[in-house]
Amino acid sequence: MDSEVGMGDGEEEDAQCASCHQYCHFAAVECGCSDDRVACAAHTGALCACPPSRWRLAFRYTLAELDAQLSGVFGAATRVGALNQ
Ligand SMILES: [Zn+2]
Ligand SMILES: [Zn+2]
């Protein structure tokens, strides 16, 4: 785990949201008008001025991996909630 800041050398796996600059680990919205500009799901409006029909959702993980991660998160949350009741 290093924290190098790339200077536009095609480091797509380190894509950051154009608005909040969080790393888009799971999914990013991309547009054909710019290869290195992405936005997280919450900030698609900050991506560019193109109509949303031009945007596409790019998954960083396969859907199976994403599903496994999400059910892990929700499973843990459910257990915590049950303990607090
Ligand atoms: Zn964002
Ligand atoms: Zn665009």
Ligand nearest to the CA of residue 18, numbered in listed order: 1
Which amino acid, one-letter code, is at 60? R
Question: How far away, in angstroms, is 43 Cα from ligand 1 center?
Answer: 5
Question: How far away, in angstroms, is 33 Cα from ligand 2 center?
Answer: 4
CA dist 47 and 5 (Å) reads 21
The answer to whether the beta carbons of residues 53 and 31 sit under 8 Å apart is: no
In this structure, whether the domain defined by 2-83 belongs to CATH 2.60.300 is answered with no
Residue ranges of domains in the chain: 2-83
Ligand nearest to the CA of residue 47, numbered in listed order: 2
Predicted pLDDT at 4: 55
CA dist 52 and 58 (Å) reads 14
Across the 85 residues of the chain, what is the mean pLDDT of every consecutive 10-residue run? 54 78 86 91 93 87 70 69 61
